């Protein structure tokens, strides 16, 4: 998989995080743009600027479990230092396992730290990157900017609010760089431009680091950490689906590379669920028709986000078609059996089996027997593939043991 660019993956992950709330739409990209612009004004090396840019694209990935704060962006003002750094630490934990994201993760770890609080943490041994102070100010500038109003009319008020925090909330040198930048109209026009994604893409296009299948598995686990962290009821769902799919694929003679591909697909299959409100994900009862319509969006969003990452075509297909059914009654594309290959069929069975054997807000986890009873009815109804289900039935206990082991490794203790 030499053609998959980490920069495209980074943009896809940022877009996925932005799905969580309408208020977050392009927030991460705008913060990345502001932070990169300030770091350029300071004169940082390109390598450091790109780390700060990446940090901006992902900085709130640990905050997506808190819908109320997302509605108001209240991750800074009025909270204690410990409260402000809570989601920063969660973001750092999610991202720091990937070598290429360790520097951005360190920046994110302290991005809600006030300048006048830093000495206390440094005395305790903390190493606080300059990028953290830059990202903090950039985040505040975006939150203070009203994109529904003419931006230059807001400039003086925003500048004054940032200036007033110099030496307390914000690092003075970073404030000075922002003040210099703020005098240029293009900066503000770019900030509120509908083409912000293209601007970020231009900044990233020369950083052509690619990922192979093994690296993609590791990166997909980062996506999964964000997806499943959204709700305690899906805390390890994607990992379970991925492991179930791999076990079925291995028993159905998939090549080693295709087993890796289906594992990645399993880890990414619910990426679009970041767009679903928590009150629907965690509803203690059946969904209404309107709520189910909202839920059905998630596979579509998974498809659209993954389709923007070149080289993921087969993985995207397997990931995004897991709610399609052989009789054409599934969603979102209403594909029938002739359009669903064996990988897509394995994913559909893996998702149903994993979901049925997990605890949900409205029911306890089902036993093997009860889960297989429902799945057998779905085979008779031309929804699921009988050959795949036959393999599952023959190896249910073994497959479930592998699934549970994988899930136990990621469930927070």
* Residue 56 exposure: Cα atoms within 13 Å on the Cβ side: 35
How far does Cα 394 stand from its chain's mean position? 35
Q: Please state, in angstroms and rounded to a whole number, the distance separating the CA atoms of residues 83 and 75.
A: 8
Nearest to 69 by CA among 84, 82, 54: 84
Q: What's the sign of the alpha-carbon dihedral 307, 228, 103, 86? A: positive
Find out whether the peptide bond into 332 is cis, omega within 30 degrees of 0.
Answer: yes
pLDDT at 67: 54
Q: What is the biggest distance separating any 2 CA atoms in the chain, rounded to whole angstroms?
A: 69
273 exposed, middle or buried (CB, 10 Å; 0-12, 13-18, 19+)? buried
pLDDT at 233: 67
Contact 92, 110 (CB under 8 A): no
Q: What's the sign of the alpha-carbon dihedral 404, 405, 406, 407? A: positive
Neighbours of 62 (CB within 10 A): 24
What residues does 170 pair with on adjacent strands?
A: 166
Query: Angle at Cα 333 formed by Cα 386 and Cα 318, nearest 5°?
Result: 55
pLDDT at 410: 80
Nearest to 346 by CA among 261, 220, 408, 410: 261
Outline where DSSP puts E strands in 256-406: none
Q: Please state, in angstroms and rounded to a whole number, the distance separating the CA atoms of residues 324 and 94.
A: 31
pLDDT at 1: 44
**Residue 153, token pair as written in the block:** 């009319």
Contact 278, 232 (CB under 8 A): no
**Domains, the chain:** 4-204 (1.10.3210.10), 212-410 (1.10.3210.10)
pLDDT at 72: 44
Low-confidence ranges of the chain (pLDDT < 70): 1-3, 65-78, 206-209, 232-233, 235, 412-413
Query: DSSP assignment, residue 288?
Result: P
pLDDT at 215: 87
Render pLDDT for 26-38 as a digit per residue (tens, 0 to 9).
999 999 999 999 9
C-alpha distance across the termini of the chain, in Å: 34
Nearest to 107 by CA among 86, 123, 89: 89
Q: Please state, in angstroms and rounded to a whole number, the distance separating the CA atoms of residues 15 and 272.
A: 10
């Amino acid at each position: 998989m030499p053609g998959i660019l980490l920069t495209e993956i980074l943009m896809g992950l940022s877009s996925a995080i932005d799905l969580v709330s309408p208020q977050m739409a392009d927030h991460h990209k705008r913060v990345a743009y502001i932070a990169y612009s300030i770091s350029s004004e300071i004169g940082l090396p390109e390598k450091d600027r790109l780390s700060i840019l990446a940090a901006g694209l992902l900085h709130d990935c640990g905050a997506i479990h808190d819908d109320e704060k997302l509605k108001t962006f209240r991750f800074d003002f009025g909270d204690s230092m410990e409260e402000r750094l809570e989601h920063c630490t969660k973001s750092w934990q999610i991202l720091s396992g990937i070598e290429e994201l360790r520097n951005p993760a360190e920046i994110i770890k302290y991005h809600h730290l006030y300048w006048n609080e830093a000495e206390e943490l440094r005395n305790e041994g903390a190493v606080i990157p300059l990028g953290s102070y830059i990202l903090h100010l950039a985040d505040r500038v975006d939150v203070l900017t009203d994109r529904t109003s003419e931006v230059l009319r807001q400039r003086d008020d925003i500048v004054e609010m940032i200036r007033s925090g110099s030496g307390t909330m914000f690092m003075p040198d970073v404030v000075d760089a922002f003040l210099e930048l703020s005098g240029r109209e293009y900066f503000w026009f770019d900030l509120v431009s509908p083409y912000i994604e293209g601007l970020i893409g231009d900044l990233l296009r020369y950083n052509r680091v690619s990922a192979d299948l093994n690296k993609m598995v590791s990166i997909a686990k980062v996506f999964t950490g964000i997806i499943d962290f959204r709700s305690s009821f899906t805390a390890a769902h994607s990992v379970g689906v991925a492991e179930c799919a791999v076990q079925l694929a291995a028993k159905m003679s998939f090549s080693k590379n295709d087993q890796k591909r289906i594992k990645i697909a399993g880890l990414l299959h619910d990426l679009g669920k970041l767009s679903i409100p928590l009150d629907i994900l965690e509803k203690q009862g059946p969904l209404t028709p309107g709520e189910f319509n909202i839920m059905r969006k998630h596979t579509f969003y998974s498809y659209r986000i993954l389709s923007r990452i070149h080289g993921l075509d087969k993985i995207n297909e397997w990931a995004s078609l897991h709610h399609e059914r052989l009789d054409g009654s599934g969603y979102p594309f209403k594909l029938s059996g002739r359009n669903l290959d064996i990988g897509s069929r394995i994913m559909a069975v893996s998702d149903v089996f994993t979901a049925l054997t997990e605890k949900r807000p409205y029911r306890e986890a089902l036993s093997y027997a009860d889960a297989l009873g429902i799945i057998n009815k779905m085979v008779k109804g031309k929804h699921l593939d009988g050959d795949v289900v036959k393999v599952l039935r023959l190896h249910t206990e073994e497959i479930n043991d592998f699934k549970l082991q994988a899930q136990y490794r990621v469930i927070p203790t």
